[in-house]
Structures are given as structure tokens and as C-alpha cells.
Amino acid sequence: MNFDKQKVGDKNYIVHAPKGSSWGNTDDVLSSWTANHFRFPESKSETDPGFRSAQLGAIFAIKSHWTVSTSAATVVMPTGTGKTEVMIATVVSECRGKTCIVVPSDLLRKQTINRFCSLGKLRDIGAIDDTFCNPIVACVTSSPKDKTELENLLDKSNVVVTTMSLLNSGRFSDEFLKVLSTKCDTLIIDEAHHVPASSWKRVKKSFEEVRCLQFTATPFRNDGKKVDGDIIYNFPLSLAQERGYFKAINFYPIYEFDSDKKDISVAEKAVEILETDISKGFPHLLLVRASTQSRAKMLFENVYQQNYAKHSPVLIVSDNSVIENKEALQSVYDGVSKIIVCVDMFSEGIDIPQLKICAIHDKYKSLPITMQFIGRFARTQVNLGEASVVANIVDDDIQESLEELYSQDADWNKILKDTSDEKVGREVELQKLARGFTGTEVIPLNQIRPKVSMFMYTTTETSWHWQYWSKVFNEDKSHHFVNEQEKILIITELRTSNVDWTTCRDITDDNWNLHILYWDEKKKVFFINTTDKGIADRLAEAVFCSYKRISGEDVFRCLSGINRLMLSTVGLKTAISNHHIRYRMFAGVDVADGITQATTHAATKSNLFGVGFENGISISIGCSYKGTIWAKWVETINYWKSWCDKQAVKILDSTIDTRTVLSGALVPAVIQSRPAVVPYRIDFPLEIEAELRESILLKTTLHDARPFLVDIGLTSFDETSLLSFYVGNEEFREEFTLDINANDYTITHKSGSNIRIVLSRGRETSLTEFFRENPPTIWFVDGSSLEGNLLVKLKNSPPATFAASNITPWDWNGVDIRKESQGVSKESDSIQYKLISELRSHNQYSLIFDDDGSGEVADVIAVLEDDTNAKIIVEFYHCKFSGAAQAGSRVDDLYTVCGQAEKCIKWASNAKALADRLMKRESDRTGKGKPSRYEVGDNKSVFTLKNKLKLYSTEYRVFIVQPGVDSNGITPAMHQVLCSASAYLMDTYGIPLNLICS
């Protein structure tokens, strides 16, 4: 269709596609819309003319919204489902007088103008006929010179198209915005997620009296904030796929750990797909996605132009001139250029159906934006094949929500559908919550995250009257959700209160309270979780005719069964006269006094809080005399229900003596001299141990390393020497001493390098100074541990004899038992080589990893996959050389290796982090030109394991490999060390310790 164009001012203009030779005016156009009948034909197939069901749903949703509201509204439709036609149909069928359309880019502005000038496909599908005039469309490309010019432009147009960047620029004054909002009765924002919240705020204020529609494929802005406006229509991606709006998406993962090769690896695969598709007769194009213009230019020049010039790649970025980008785009339209290198999509909404292959060199780190981007490649069109996406899945630290999308065996068609529906659907439901639970809407169960806490009650009732919740709460300001089968009642309550900083009663504070009641009919108990503790008994009384809250001594039974319970606070009440009660809180080293008073009845326990291990999991637990039981977590209803069940089992167990439980709790004590016990293990302070994001660096004048490449170890193993230890690796090492005296402790530099530690935000200090503030933890053979001058002793001594069933003697013939590591040359007479050979001979391990070296998790890590039981078994092997040429009864042969066996289990709580660590260790080693650490498997195997971890459970086993120990000559001292390590592993994570010896 031919368009006529008239300039208005220097750069702005109006365009029109008149039916005859004359233009007519805006009133003529509007009259033709008003006087004629707009039809809404529905297409039942891709060849059947009419609106798609998604388009009709959106149009009618808008019409419905406008019958009751003038507030801003958001329409969520997946890319490629026809948003532009919905806009045009809405403007024409609703006979809008003057509509302002705001788009994110110049290219999309031109495309929108062309579509509105011809009224898109409305005539082709039979929605309108030739009696409908085409609108006069104004294109605002720059700020007018004055108010008169802008008014003239608007008076001559039915539709105005511009960009948000222009409206929010300093050149477009508030006066101009006022003119625009006064003249227009409708505002449409296209690709609304691209509008920064700061930009939208100014424009929105000007257009607050104007009907506003926002169109987007995702209700989340690029700046991380939500798109304003109620979501009045959400067409799920699952339906778009089901109804054939999109073709299948083929995902091709690349495994390239070498950062110098990752771009060429992605390019090779993408171009291979392009050439294959072209050979099949498909006119497909390849789009190369970069995160920045500099990256795009580098990829264009060094990868695609240099290696694939025959496909005439073009670079389209905003730094190019308008003419350069126009010529590049024309080369694409003409079929000359088959490769487009750009940032993102080089413009939202650009309609090039032949874009079917995408090379993602830099991933999006937002799931909604990824879905929208990929959706453009999956549009259905005759004579085109399926979409293909290529990405290197190992080079970026991406959000957890994207892990599955970029995983090895990802089915993008299913994942995009599921994650899109879940993400957008969640936002729709949250908006329902924000609107105050009007109508019959309820909060989805999976969106409720209560704090893990409860009151527990007993009852003799055989039925509950959950409907009576309304006796306690105002029905007009509350909502309920009940599951009668699971016996769970959830109430959300809006409570309005006066604020305490003013006497003005017109200023109030609105808060939502959450109340949950769960009845375990079999145990004859129920639990209440509430954000208002004072209402718990009233709710209990309303739902049950008879009840009794569990309180007093019985509550403290929840502390039973927690291994290595370390209480951090103890609150006591002491009667000091007939009328007065004194409350005292004990913390830190004073906890011991509190426990003593609590167990001797010198005081009444008020509340306790501590941490420990239960069933192989690290937990926190708190309880009070009045009946509150809590943990420092926020979890799902499912989790809370299960947690309540577990606490009930212990609280109802009358055989549990709480005095015994407390007397076994661990407490720190200040000491004035070093313990007369042999140390055998030392750990970095938690500040370093918990460091998983690589924000900490250890460095000297010549070298530096992340903590995962550095060791900390003891240098003396006896009962009397000054406690000494080292930190280092193959490149640097510093030794320290810890001295305990009557007043305090000191940590001093002994010898070696002067290591400095670089913390987050560039904070830097010497490691010696850091240790003085954050001392490492030293463990002793009796199970006690020391931090600075605070000693924690076990109340229950470990067993005296290490179980014979956990000892396995091997034949070490041909092995030098004084040679521990196989090294990079894989020395066949070493202990480690022998171990790996034995493991390989079983042909059952999917992964065997040589982790030997500074910062190791273990000398050898082996993985078994039990697909039948959906389980992954991880085995840690710790090798140690013998102190002599022959096996014997030397306790010194066990100190270090037992300490290593204990340290490794911190990885038992995070198998994914362990997998990432192995790949980092491999990359660090091969990057130095050394052989791979993989004895069985490779990086791809590790990624497969990471994927299975989403569904599989994990089991851990720990082995000590010390051929210097004679299985027939293990002394009591050796048993003590082995039992101490074994007790630690079992008490914390429930992992057995095994000894492989001679």
C-alpha cells in the first residue's frame, strides 16, 4: 500500500493511505469508524481468515475492562501471537478519538506506523471493509520547536507514534507532555517491559487521566521492576504452542570451558545449522546475540566476518549511523546477508520471519526476557522450518531459574511453556492479593511462605468446625482457604490500625496477617501458626470445643535427638520474692551458667535457641515455656506441616527427660592454656569456609589464589607443643602459631610468605590480622574444638573401638606405601594410582576425579549412579602415605588423614556446589597445560549429574586410604582418632567412615 507523507515542522510528519486522491481529515476517519460495523471473525486454523483466539480474548478483555475502569491495564501475550493487530482492532472498534502509541525503538516506530496506516490485516480477515478509512498517523521523531507545532501535528492525526526515550528526554518539555496528554484520549505502550520505571513515572503522571494499555510478553521490566497496571489478560505460552502459533525449538548445547574458544565453538555450530537449513531450501537467517555493543563488534569482526564472510554478515548496533543500519537491514531483506550480529534483538518487534537460528554468545540472566527473545524465532510461517538455538551452557553464572533452560538435555519447548506460565501466572495471582482478595479469589498455596513456627495443642474432638473461623475474624476483611482432606485452614486478614506517631485518626496502617491451623486427627493434636500470637487461643477455641495448649517443660522435648546441639541463647525466669520475677538472658560463654541453673531447678526455663544436626541435616530450633516452637526459616505450607509432624512425635514422647537433653548440650568455655590433647584437624574460619562466590582472594607479592585452591593444615601433632598451622599451596605458604594465655589468645606469623586476604568490596588486610579477629577452628582427638581461647567439649565421648566391619585390608604389593600421590605423570607405584585402578576395575563409576592438590575436597572423588532408586552416591577417598616402609601401629599415620576425612563433608550439603568446584579445579589444571583430572568421565558427565540432582537423592561415603596401618595392630590411641572422626561424620551428616589399610 502506498502512503502519502506531509512534513509538520523540521523532522516530524504525518502519513496517510487515502482511499482516493484527497486526504480528508481526522473527523472523516473517525466518522467512518463510528458509522460502520466492526466484525470479529475467529480463525479456526492458520489458513482460515479471522482473529486468533488469543487476539479475540485480548480485545474483549480490554472492552470489558473499559466498561468498569479507566485505570492502566496490562495485556500479556507471547511474542508472535499478534499484539499489533489487537492494538489496531481496539483503536478502530472502540472508535478512539486520538491514540498515542509509545514504542521502544526507531525501527519499531516505523513498523508500527506502516501497520496502522493500512489498518494491518483487518481487511484481509474480514473485520472491516473499504468503508473504514485509514487513519492519519503522526510520527514524532524529535521534539517540536514550540507548542504550536505540536498542536498542529496532533490536530491533523488520529494516531501518534513516538518513543519513550523522546518523551522522557530533556528536549520534550513538561508543557509538550501536557499538550500530548490533553489531546489524546488513549495511550498504548508497546513492549512495556522495556520502559524503565523512572521513565514511565514522568509520562504516567502526565497521562493519568487518559486510558492506558500496556502490551508485553512478560510483566517484568528489564530493570527488574514490575510493569504497572493490572494484568487484565494473560494468554499462556502453553496455549500458544498448543494452538500452533509457534513451531518447535531445537536447542544445541555447546560444552566449551576454554574462554578463548567459546565464541568460535558457538559460531561453528550455528553456521553449520544455517548451511544445513539453506541446503534444505529454507531461507533462514542467523541472529547472533551479544550483551553489549563492544561484544557485538568483536564477534562481528573477529568471528563471523573473519570466518564466515561468504554469508555476508552485518552488524546492527545503535553506535552505527542510521544509514549504516538501514543498508545492513536492506541487505538482510534482499537475501544477501544471512548473519545478523546485534545486541539483543536489535529492535523489539522487528518482523523478519526468516530469523530461525539464534547463536547466544551472551545469555540473558532473566527468564522472562529469554522467553520473549527465543519466542521470536519460533513463530509459525509457511515455507519455514523449525527454530534452532545454540548456546555454550558452561560459561556463565546464571540464575537458578535459568539452569534448567540451559541444561544439557533441555526440552526448550516444554520448559519455556512451563516457566512462562508459572512466572506470569504467579504475578497475576500476586496482583489479586494486592487488590484485597475481592470476589472468590484465593492465594495459591505454593505462594504462601510462613515462618516456621507454631503453637501445639491437644484435643479429644473427632471433628473440627473450621467454618467458625469467622467468629474470630471480620469476614469483610478476611479470606480463607481450606483443605478438608489434609485438615489445613488458612486465613488471611487485613487489619487496619492507627499509627503511633500522630494523633490524627485519618492516618492508618494496613497490614495483612496470616493464620494457619493444621489438625493431625490421628495424633489428636493441632498446630497454629500465626503472625499475631495473641489470637492463637481464640482461633483454637472457635474451631475445637475442647483443647489444651502444650506449654511448660513438655515443649523443650523438641530439643531431643539433635546431635551436637549448641545453644546460643538461654532465657530463664527466677523468683526472687513472692511477687517478683527476674528474667535473665544467657548468651555466648554464659550459656553454661544458664544450662546449669535450668537443669538444677534453680530457675525456670523461659526460652532456648540453638543449632545442631538432625538426620544428617544442619538445623536451628527454638522453644519457649509458653509453647512457641520455631526455626529460622521461611518455608512452604508443605514443609511447615511436615515439620509440625516431626515436633509432635518428640513432644508427645513422655520418656524424654529435658534435663538430660540440656545437660548434653555443647557450651563454649574460656580456657587459659592449650588443651593437653592431640590436635588433628584445622578449618578455615566460617567467613572463608562459607565463601562460594569467589569474592575472597589470598595473595602474596608474587602470587594469588582463591580459597578453593589453598590448604590450611596443622604442623604439629602432640599434646604439649605450641599449636601451629600453615596456609598455602604449591606457590606460597605461611606458618602461624596460636598461643593461649591467662588473659587472651594471640595468633602470630611464624615463617614463610606474608599472605594478605582481600575481602568483599576490596577490603584488604594481612591474614595474621584476619585470624586474630576470626580464628580458625582446631579439632582434637577427644572430639573437642577450639576457636581462639573458646573450647567446646563433647558431653558424650565417642566409642572406644572403631568397628571392624568398617575396616578393609588391601594387598599393596607393588606399591610404595610411602608415595601418596600419582602426580601428573600418574606414577603406577603410588597409593593414589592403586586406588584409582581398583575403582576403575569395577566398571560401575560414572565419574572418577583426581582432586589431589592444595584446596582438595578429597584425593579421589568417585560417583555411582543408581537410576533404579533415583540416587547418586558420592564417595570421598582420602589417601595418606605411610610413615615407614612397612605397615604398623603408628597413630601419627592417622592424624592428618582423619582430619581431612572430616573436613570434606561440608560438601555433603550442596552437591551442585561440589560439581561446580570440580569443574573449576579441572579448568585451573588444564589451563596450566597439565593433564585432565578426570580418570572416568568429563565435564559433560558432571553436567549430566547436575541435571539428575534436580530429581535424584544423594548419598555420601567417606574412606580413609592408609596402607601404613596394619589392620591387625590398631592401638587404642589409633582407635581414638578413628572413632573421633567417625563420630563427627555420623553426628553431623550421618555419613559412615571406612578405613582401607594393610
Could you read off the pLDDT of 653-663 as tens digits, one per residue? 999 988 777 77
pLDDT at 398 over 50: no
Compute the average pLDDT of residues 487-497. 84
Question: What's the confidence (pLDDT) of residue 344?
Answer: 63
Question: Is 50 exceeded by the pLDDT of residue 424?
Answer: no
Task: Please check the confidence at residue 390 and state whether its pLDDT lies above 80.
Answer: yes
For residue 446, what pLDDT is reported? 54
Strand 525-530 to 508-520 pairing: antiparallel
Instruction: Read off the amino acid at residue 636.
Output: T
Region 490-515 average pLDDT: 77
Question: How far is 472 from 538, CA to CA, in rounded Å?
Answer: 7
| pLDDT for res 523 | 94
Across residues 307-333, what is the average pLDDT?
Answer: 91
pTM here? 0.56
Query: For 722-757, b where at least 16 C-beta lie within 10 A, e where not — what string?
Result: ebbbbbbeeebbbbbbbebeeeebebebeeebebbb
| Closest listed residue to residue 180, CA positions, set 219, 143, 215 | 143
Confidence of residue 353 (pLDDT cuts 50, 70, 90): confident
Provide the pLDDT for residue 412: 45
Q: What pLDDT, on a 0 to 100 scale, did the predictor assign at position 151?
A: 93
Query: Residues with Cβ < 8 Å from 671, sequence gap 6 or more?
Result: 740, 786, 789, 790, 791
In angstroms, what CA-CA distances link 374 with 80, 160, 258, 378?
Answer: 11, 30, 26, 7
Q: How confident is residue 265, by pLDDT bands cut at 50, 70 and 90?
A: very high
Pick the more confident residue, 540 or 506: 540
Give the HSE-up count for residue 649: Cα atoms under 13 Å, Cβ half-sphere: 7
Task: Compute the average pLDDT of residues 898-905.
Answer: 88
| Range in 445-459, 668-682, 762-776, 844-858 with the lowest mean pLDDT | 445-459
* Cα-based distances in Å from 275 to 270, 289, 386, 434: 9, 19, 14, 51
Residue 651: the pLDDT is: 93
Q: Give residue 370's pLDDT.
A: 62
Q: How far is CA 887 from CA 216, 878, 969, 970, 997, in A?
A: 73, 17, 9, 11, 9
- pLDDT at residue 927 is higher than 80: yes
What lies within 8 Å, CB to CB, of 115 at 6+ separation is 84, 88
Residue 422 pLDDT grade (very low, low, confident, very high; cuts 50, 70, 90): very low
3-state secondary structure of 590: helix
Under 8 Å between Cβ of 396 and 363: yes
DSSP labels, 879-892? E---SSSS-B--TH
The residue type at 177: L
Cell of 172: 520534550
Is it the case that residue 226 has pLDDT exceeding 70? no
Which pLDDT does position 227 carry in this prediction?
64
Each residue of 949-979: pLDDT tens digit? 766 889 999 999 999 999 999 999 999 999 9
Helix locations, 248-398, DSSP H: 262-279, 293-299, 305-307, 322-333, 367-375
pLDDT of residue 988: 83
89 compared with 253, residue with greater pLDDT: 89
> Which DSSP symbol is given to 965?
B
CA 68 to chain centre: 39
Model pLDDT, residue 372: 58
What is the reported pLDDT for 433? 34
Q: How far apart are CA 266 and CA 269, in angstroms?
A: 5
Residues 80-88: what's their mean pLDDT? 88
pLDDT confidence band for 905 (50 / 70 / 90):
confident
Tell me the C-alpha distance between 697 and 704, whole Å. Answer: 7
Which pLDDT score is estimated for 24? 81
| 371, amino acid identity | M
Give the C-alpha separation, 718 to 725, whole Å.
13
Look at residue 449 in the predicted model and tell me its pLDDT. Answer: 82
Taking 80 as the threshold, does the pLDDT of residue 447 lie above it? no
CA distances from 384 to 11, 270, 274, 389 (A): 39, 17, 13, 15
- The reported pLDDT for the residue numbered 600 is 63
- Over residues 991-995, the mean pLDDT reads 93
C-alpha span between 925 and 639 (Å, rounded): 42
Model confidence over 787-812: pLDDT tens digits?
Answer: 898 888 887 777 788 999 999 999 99
Q: Is 23 in contact with 15 (CB distance < 8 Å)?
A: no
Q: Under a CB-based contact definition with an 8 Å cutoff, are residues 788 and 984 in contact?
A: no
Angstrom distance (rounded) from CA 661 to CA 678: 28
Sheet with 339-343: strands ordered across = 249-254, 387-392, 355-360, 285-290, 339-343, 314-316
The pLDDT of residue 387: 81
Q: Which helix (H) or strand (E) holds 923?
A: helix 911-926
| Mean pLDDT score, 590-603 | 67
Contact present, 244 and 46 (Cβ < 8 Å): yes
For a pLDDT cut of 90, what percent of the chain falls above it? Answer: 43
* pLDDT reported for residue 506: 66
Confidence of residue 399 (pLDDT cuts 50, 70, 90): very low
- In this prediction, residue 431 carries a pLDDT of 43
What lies within 8 Å, CB to CB, of 197 at 6+ separation is 221, 223, 225
Q: Give the SS3 label for residue 638.
A: helix
Using DSSP, state whether 238 is helix, strand or coil.
helix
Are the CB atoms for 303 and 264 separated by under 8 Å?
A: yes
Measured CA to CA, the distance from residue 314 to residue 460 in angstroms comes to 78
pLDDT of 300 higher than 90: yes
Q: Average pLDDT, whole number, for the chain? A: 84
User: Angle, nearest 10°, between helix axes 147-155 and 174-183?
Assistant: 20
Query: What is the DSSP pairing of strand 604-614 with strand 756-758?
Result: unpaired
With H, G, I as helix, E, B as strand and everything else as coil, classify residue 750.
strand
Mean pLDDT of 377-386: 69
In terms of pLDDT, which residue wins out, 586 or 768?
A: 768
